[in-house]
Amino acid sequence: MMNGSWSLVNKVALVTGASRGLGRAMALALGEAGAKVAITDLLVEGRAYDPDRLGEYGRLGSHFAGNDGIKTLATADEIIAPGAPSCAMKMDVAEPEEIHRVVLAITKTLGPIDILINNAAVMDNLGPLEEQTHERWERDLKVNLSGAFHCIKAVWPGMVKRGGGRIINISSVAGLMGAWLQPAYGSAKAGLLGLTKSLAIEGGRHNITVNAVCPGFIATEAVKLLDQNLLERIRKRTALGRLGTVEEVAQVVLFLASDAAAYITGAAIPVTGGSDLFIF
């Protein structure tokens, strides 16, 4: 457990989309710093799910649900093991009423939420513009942008009442540069940057900081499924010549959640290894 300005002892954090990958790493880092962490995801081990509904929210979810790749409860247990309180709950960020119910349950279980990490996202909608459908466009915005908006709405009044809070939106290098064959994903992630800056202005008078982290190509379970030739191309066009690790992104999130970042708000921090630089 950390001491000093990076310590999150007695803080309550909510991490969405934390069953694997970046969300899981962020939750573990926050727990290691002493926070009481609420893990939420659309999928929870041992819980029944509607395959059709899951398909609506992404092929990757279906893939990992089918091969024991979901670690929502396991992540909470891993945080609890050293002694930090934690809980895991099912939450669909596309459903505002469900968000409010879960936030209320977290507050009763762990206490009022001090830190919100908006990480839940879908990114499986690939194809040229002529193949993009209205339904997929709306789904991507609903999960990747509106989901963050509704989660913020659910925790904002409590943060205002208590005189402070930390909100960290997980955008993407795609939000900075655009995304080939992913117009909805790129648009939603860019929209998160606008939401971040707009709410940073409003939150400042309440001591609520709102920042964004923009990961590049990170070695998550999903990215590792990509074709090896494509991964090699990605490495070659990244200044550091490699993929990032989930822990490297989690440490930036931890910093922004801590008192060490008390004077940082409205920032969009690239964690890209230089993949957003002009490299050829």
CB 45 within 8 A of CB 20: no
Taken in order 38, 43, 47, 49, the sign of the CA dihedral is: positive
Q: 14 with 27: CB under 8 angstroms?
A: no
According to DSSP, residue 238 is labeled: S
The CATH number that applies at residue 221 is 3.40.50.720
- Residue 105 lies inside a defined structural domain of this protein: yes
Whether 63 shows a pLDDT value over 60: the answer reads: no
Residue 226: inside a domain, yes or no?
yes
Asked if the structure places residue 279 within a domain, the reply is no
Of 49, 57, 185, 263, the catalytic one is 185
Inside any domain, residue 66: yes
- Read off the pLDDT band of 126 (50, 70, 90): confident
Please check the confidence at residue 1 and state whether its pLDDT lies above 60.
no
185 counts as catalytic:
yes
Instruction: Write down the pTM of the prediction.
Output: 0.93
pLDDT at 30 over 60: yes
Q: Is residue 278 part of a domain?
A: no
What is the total count of domains within the chain? 1
pLDDT confidence of residue 190 = 97
Among candidates 215, 217, 220, which has minimal Cα distance to 63? 220
Q: To the nearest 10°, the Cα dihedral for 133, 135, 141, 143?
A: -130
CB 246 within 8 A of CB 220: yes
Is 277 inside a domain boundary? no
Mean of pLDDT values over 66-95: 90
Structure tokens belonging to residue 59: 């092929």
Residue 276 lies in a domain: no
Asked whether the predicted pLDDT for residue 75 surpasses 80, the reply is: yes
Print the domain residue range for 241: 4-271
237 is a domain residue: yes
The H or E element that residue 270 is part of is strand 268-271
pLDDT per position as a tens digit, 227-245? 888 889 999 999 999 999 9
Whole-angstrom distance, CA of residue 16 vs CA of residue 18:
5
- Average pLDDT rounded to a whole number, residues 159-187: 96
Instruction: Output the CA torsion sign for 86, 2, 163, 191.
Output: negative
For the record, the structure tokens of 162 come out as 């208590």
| SS3 state of residue 33 | coil
Is the model more confident about 79 or about 65? 79
CB 164 within 8 A of CB 206: yes
C-alpha span between 71 and 38 (Å, rounded)? 13
Q: Report the relative pairing of strands 36-41 and 86-90 from DSSP bridges.
A: parallel
More confident residue, 1 or 27: 27
pLDDT at 164: 98
Looking at every residue in the chain, the average pLDDT score rounds to 92
**Who's near 163: CB < 8 A, 6+ residues apart?**
206, 207
